[in-house]
Amino acid sequence: MSHGREARRWERHAVTIAVSVSFLTDGQRAKFTAQASDISRGGLSLFTSREIAVGTSLQLDFILPYTSTPLVLRGVVRTRSGFNYGTEFVNPTPEQQEIIERACRVFSLLN
């Protein structure tokens, strides 16, 4: 899989937000806080020292800047580089997608 910018479907926007992450590992639910370093319409980049296998399904809970609506999304780990994990959102609702897209438009204007 190419990790270059040309492989990206959506523009990424730098952001620093706390993300509550949970997933099943060995039949037990793991829950911890990670930090998102960027977001796009289709996913976000997480920084954490926790070990997460590529392909793992996650629950991601966060609030984007300039919004007050908490988002609870399903995601899947697509890539890993050191402590950085590329996650893809899975089946966001139309309302969740609109919140993400609106935030990305705001980030575009600010950069």
> Which CATH number do you get for residue 9?
2.40.10.220
Identify the domain containing residue 29 by its residue range. 5-110
Q: Give the model's pLDDT for residue 3.
A: 47
Q: Give the model's pLDDT for residue 1.
A: 39
CB 90 within 8 A of CB 47: no
- Give the Cα separation of 92 and 14 in Å (integer): 21
Q: Give the model's pLDDT for residue 8.
A: 61
In this prediction the pTM is 0.87
Overall domain count for the chain: 1
- Give the Cα separation of 111 and 109 in Å (integer): 6
* Segments of the chain scoring below 70 in pLDDT: 1-8, 111
Q: What is the pLDDT of residues 4-29, one digit of tens each?
A: 445 667 788 899 999 999 999 888 99
Residue 87 neighbours by CB under 8 Å, 6+ apart: 43, 44, 45, 46, 58, 60, 75, 76, 77, 78
- Give the Cα separation of 12 and 45 in Å (integer): 9
